[in-house]
Amino acid sequence: ETGVTQSPTHLIKTRGQQVTLRCSSQSGHNTVSWYQQALGQGPQFIFQYYREEENGRGNFPPRFSGLQFPNYSSELNVNALELDDSALYLCASSLASADTQYFGPGTRLTVL
């Protein structure tokens, strides 16, 4: 059984650019949630996708958007990057929207 995978591992962007992060869910999981973890803090919920539809959103601006594909993999897109977007971005998958969430290793984004 393959766990949650994320790509890329690290990414460096400049302010104003756009970025796409990718996540492959654990086998059999149809739900993907994205979190932002700033240095020294707990993860903050961005949004969740269940069967290709957004199923809940945290307190993040519209420049954070996402997609889920028929194979349940997912993308997180961030437009107009700001310095405060520098963080570890975590993807978590679960069997269903209310089930246990299993996290991937994260993508470390640095915005200069």
CA 50 to chain centre: 13
Asked if 66 touches other proteins (CB under 8 A), the answer is no
C-alpha count within 13 angstroms, C-beta hemisphere, residue 79: 6
One-letter amino acid at 12 equals: I
Q: How far is the CB of 96 from other proteins (least distance, A)?
A: 9
| x/- map, 3-42, other proteins, by CB under 8 A | -x--------------------------x-x-x----xxx
Q: Which two tokens stand for residue 45?
A: 């919920």
Neighbours of 66 (CB within 10 A): 22
Task: List residues near other proteins by CB under 8 A.
Answer: 4, 31, 33, 35, 40-45, 48, 50, 55-56, 58, 90, 92, 97-98, 100-106
